[in-house]
Chain A
Amino acid sequence: MTTSGAMRDTPLIGSYSADDVLAWEQGRPRTAGQFLAEGSHLAEIVPDRPTVLNLANSRYEFLVGLAAAILRRQVTLLPQNRASESLRRLVDDYPHSYCLTDQGETIEGIESILVQSQQAIAPCHMKIPRIPIDQVVAIAFTSGSTGRPMPHAKTWGALTAVAHATGASLGISSRKPLTVVATVPHHHMFGLEASVMLPIMHGAVMHAGRPLFPADVANALAERVGPWILVTTPLHLRACLTEGVKLPPAGLIVSATAPLALNVAQEAEQYFQAEVHEIFGFAEAGSVAHRRTINGEQWHPLDGVRLNQDGGSFLADAWYLPTPVPVPDRISVNVDGRFSLYGREADQVNVAGHRVSLGDLNQKLLGIDGVQDGVFFLPEDESPLVTRLMAFVVAPGKTNEEIQRALRRRLAPVFLPRPLVFVPRLPRNETGKLPRESLLRLVQEWKERADHGF
Chain B
Amino acid sequence: MTAQSPIEQEVAQLLVETLKLKVSAAIIDPVQPLFGDGLGLDSIDALELALAISKTYGYQLKSSDPDIKVIFSSLRALAEAIEKNRTK
Give the B-binding residues of A (Cβ under 8 A).
Answer: 211-216, 219, 235-236, 239, 242-243, 423-425, 428-430, 445
Return B40 CB to nearest CB of chain A, in Å.
12
Known: A243-B54, A424-B18, A430-B42. A212 touches B63 (CB 8 A): yes
Contact B22 A213 (CB under 8 A): no
The residue from A239, A243, A424 contacting B20, defined by CB atoms under 8 A apart:
A424
Show 6 A/B contacts (Cβ-Cβ < 8 Å), sorted by A.
Answer: A212-B46, A214-B60, A219-B64, A239-B47, A243-B51, A430-B42
Return B39 CB to nearest CB of chain A, in Å.
15
Tell me which residues across on chain A come within 8 A of B63, comparing CB atoms.
211-213, 216
Task: Judge whether B19 is part of the interface by a CB distance below 8 angstroms.
Answer: yes
Contact A430 B44 (CB under 8 A): yes
Task: Judge whether B84 is part of the interface by a CB distance below 8 angstroms.
Answer: no
Across the A-B interface, give the 10 residue pairs with the lowest CB-CB distance, nearest first.
Answer: A215-B62, A215-B60, A216-B63, A213-B50, A424-B20, A213-B61, A425-B48, A239-B47, A242-B51, A212-B63
Task: Judge whether B17 is part of the interface by a CB distance below 8 angstroms.
Answer: yes
Known: A215-B60, A239-B51. A430 touches B19 (CB 8 A): no
Task: Judge whether B24 is part of the interface by a CB distance below 8 angstroms.
Answer: no
Beyond the given pairs A212-B46, A219-B64, A239-B47, 7 more chain A to chain B contacts, judged by CB atoms under 8 angstroms and listed by A's residue number, are: A213-B50, A215-B61, A216-B64, A219-B62, A425-B19, A428-B44, A445-B22
Tell me which residues across on chain A come within 8 A of B20, comparing CB atoms.
423-425
The residue from B17, B22, B47, B54 contacting A212, defined by CB atoms under 8 A apart:
B47
Most buried by A among B19, B20, B47, B54: B47
Give the A-binding residues of B (Cβ under 8 A).
Answer: 17-20, 22, 42-44, 46-48, 50-51, 54, 60-64
Chain A: CB-nearest residue to B18: A424
Tell me which residues across on chain A come within 8 A of B17, comparing CB atoms.
424
Tell me which residues across on chain B come within 8 A of A239, comparing CB atoms.
47, 51
Tell me which residues across on chain A come within 8 A of B60, comparing CB atoms.
213-215, 243
How many A-B residue contacts, CB cutoff 8 Å? Answer: 50
Q: How far is it, in angstroms, between the C-alpha of A219 and the C-alpha of B64 when the chains are bound?
A: 9
Tell me which residues across on chain B come within 8 A of A243, comparing CB atoms.
50-51, 54, 60
Return B78 CB to nearest CB of chain A, in Å.
14
Tell me which residues across on chain A come within 8 A of B54, comparing CB atoms.
243
Chain B: CB-nearest residue to A396: B55
Chain B: CB-nearest residue to A216: B63
Tell me which residues across on chain A come within 8 A of B51, comparing CB atoms.
214, 239, 242-243
Tell me which residues across on chain B come within 8 A of A242, comparing CB atoms.
51
Contact A424 B64 (CB under 8 A): no
Tell me which residues across on chain B come within 8 A of A425, comparing CB atoms.
18-20, 44, 48
Return A221 CB to nearest CB of chain B, in Å.
13
Q: How far is it, in angstroms, between the C-alpha of A242 and the C-alpha of B51 when the chains are bound?
A: 8
Chain A: CB-nearest residue to B50: A213
Q: How far is it, in angstroms, between the C-alpha of A236 and the C-alpha of B46 when the chains are bound?
A: 12
Tell me which residues across on chain B come within 8 A of A424, comparing CB atoms.
17-20, 48
The residue from A216, A423, A428, A430 contacting B62, defined by CB atoms under 8 A apart:
A216
Q: How far is it, in angstroms, between the C-alpha of A424 and the C-alpha of B20 when the chains are bound?
A: 7
Return A422 CB to nearest CB of chain B, in Å.
11
Tell me which residues across on chain A come within 8 A of B62, comparing CB atoms.
213, 215-216, 219
Chain A: CB-nearest residue to B62: A215
Tell me which residues across on chain B come within 8 A of A216, comparing CB atoms.
62-64
Q: How far is it, in angstroms, between the C-alpha of A255 and the C-alpha of B69 when the chains are bound?
A: 28
Q: How far is it, in angstroms, between the C-alpha of A389 and the C-alpha of B43 when the chains are bound?
A: 30
Q: How far is it, in angstroms, between the C-alpha of A235 and the C-alpha of B62 when the chains are bound?
A: 17
Tell me which residues across on chain A come within 8 A of B64, comparing CB atoms.
216, 219
Known: A239-B51, A242-B51, A425-B48. A212 touches B19 (CB 8 A): no
Tell me which residues across on chain A come within 8 A of B44, comparing CB atoms.
235, 425, 428-430
Contact B43 A212 (CB under 8 A): yes
Q: How far is it, in angstroms, between the C-alpha of A429 and the C-alpha of B54 when the chains are bound?
A: 22
Q: How far is it, in angstroms, between the C-alpha of A430 and the C-alpha of B51 when the chains are bound?
A: 16
Q: How far is it, in angstroms, between the C-alpha of A215 and the C-alpha of B50 when the chains are bound?
A: 10
Contact B43 A430 (CB under 8 A): yes
Return A409 CB to nearest CB of chain B, in Å.
29
Return A149 CB to nearest CB of chain B, in Å.
21
Tell me which residues across on chain B come within 8 A of A428, comparing CB atoms.
44
Q: How far is it, in angstroms, between the C-alpha of A250 and the C-alpha of B70 when the chains are bound?
A: 35
Q: How far is it, in angstroms, between the C-alpha of A215 and the C-alpha of B59 when the chains are bound?
A: 11
Most buried by B among A212, A239, A429: A212
Chain B: CB-nearest residue to A425: B48
Most buried by B among A212, A213, A424: A213
Contact A213 B19 (CB under 8 A): no
Return B17 CB to nearest CB of chain A, in Å.
7
Tell me which residues across on chain A come within 8 A of B48, comparing CB atoms.
424-425
Chain B: CB-nearest residue to A448: B22
Q: How far is it, in angstroms, between the C-alpha of A412 and the C-alpha of B47 when the chains are bound?
A: 36
Q: How far is it, in angstroms, between the C-alpha of A163 and the C-alpha of B43 when the chains are bound?
A: 28
Chain B: CB-nearest residue to A424: B20
Return A407 CB to nearest CB of chain B, in Å.
22
Most buried by B among A215, A219, A423, A429: A215
